[in-house]
């Protein structure tokens, strides 16, 4: 698992999949004109490839999983907030509206570099919040390491009135997509 995200680690663990955590230090900058699908697939692949390469060099095999999540509102890509003011700007623009969450998933086999890449999109509908609610939410600290500055699996759930698509995609790892992709490497769950 090429990830430092505790949420992704919990989700992998919930599948009963034996794994090790080996976060990647891949560069996450992309050209400003890239479309959301291209961004999440390329970053998921960079993360998985970086760790697969390290394992290959040290003679270890394994299927390396990389993933990347972004929030997209009116074509604007929202990643993780730089600071509290950035989180407030994002939450002010997201509240009372609907947006898309994109997660890219990449699997790379360390032994031979074989790779599979895909993504999922989930639409998230949000209720309206006052500026005071947004500030209180930011003060909890929850938004600071999350794309779009909210966590559907935490207090951010109270912002969400409904979703269309995979819930786990919003949390950062679409499990049904992942298991479909693992089948291509003969890893069958359940």
Residues marked as catalytic: 68
Q: Considering the complex, state which of residue 86 and residue 145 has its C-beta at the smaller distance from ligand TTP.
A: 145
Where helices occur in 16-83 by DSSP H, the ranges are 36-57
Residue/partner pairs of 13-20 with CB below 8 Å, 24 or more apart:
14/175, 15/175, 15/178, 15/179, 15/189, 16/189, 17/187, 17/189, 19/65, 20/62
The answer to whether 68 contacts ligand TTP (rule: CB under 6 A) is yes
Q: Which residue has the tokens 């699908």?
A: 37
- Residue 120's contacts (CB-CB under 8 Å, 6 or more residues apart) are 102, 103, 105, 165, 166, 169, 174, 177
Q: Considering the complex, state which of residue 13 and residue 112 has its C-beta at the smaller distance from ligand TTP.
A: 13
Query: Which whole-number Å values give the CA distances from 54 to 26, 29, 109, 110, in the listed order?
Result: 12, 21, 12, 8
The answer to whether 120 contacts ligand TTP (rule: CB under 6 A) is no
Q: Which residue has the tokens 């997660």?
A: 103
Where helices occur in 95-160 by DSSP H, the ranges are 131-139
Per-residue x/- track, 69-108, ligand TTP (CB under 6 A): x-x--------x--------------------x-------
CB of 107 to ligand TTP, least distance (A): 14
Among 148, 168, 169, 178, binds ligand TTP (CB under 6 A): 148
CB of 57 to ligand TTP, least distance (A): 20
Task: Assign 184 to helix, strand or coil.
Answer: coil
CB of 131 to ligand TTP, least distance (A): 21
The answer to whether 49 contacts ligand TTP (rule: CB under 6 A) is no
The answer to whether 170 contacts ligand TTP (rule: CB under 6 A) is yes
Among 99, 150, 159, 169, binds ligand TTP (CB under 6 A): 150
Where along the sequence are the contacts to ligand TTP (CB under 6 A)?
Answer: 3-5, 7-8, 23, 47, 67-69, 71, 80, 101, 145-148, 150-153, 156, 170-172
């Amino acid at each position: 698992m090429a990830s430092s995200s505790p949420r992704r680690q919990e989700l992998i663990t919930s599948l009963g999949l034996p794994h090790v955590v080996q976060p990647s230090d891949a560069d996450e900058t992309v050209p400003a004109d890239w479309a959301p699908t291209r961004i999440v697939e390329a970053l998921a692949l960079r993360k998985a490839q970086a760790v697969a390469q390290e394992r290959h060099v040290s003679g270890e095999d394994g299927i390396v999983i990389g993933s990347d999540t972004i929030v997209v509102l009116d074509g604007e890509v929202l990643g993780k907030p730089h600071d509290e003011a950035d989180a407030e700007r994002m939450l002010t623009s997201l509240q009372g509206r609907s947006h898309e969450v994109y997660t890219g998933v990449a699997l790379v086999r360390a032994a031979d570099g074989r790779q599979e890449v895909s993504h999922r999109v989930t639409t998230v509908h949000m209720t309206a919040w006052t500026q005071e609610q947004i500030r209180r939410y930011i003060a909890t600290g929850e938004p600071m390491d999350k794309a779009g500055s909210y966590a559907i699996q935490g207090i951010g759930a109270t912002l969400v009135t409904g979703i269309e698509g995979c819930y786990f995609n919003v949390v950062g790892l679409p499990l049904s997509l992942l298991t479909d992709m693992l089948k291509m490497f003969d890893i069958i769950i359940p």
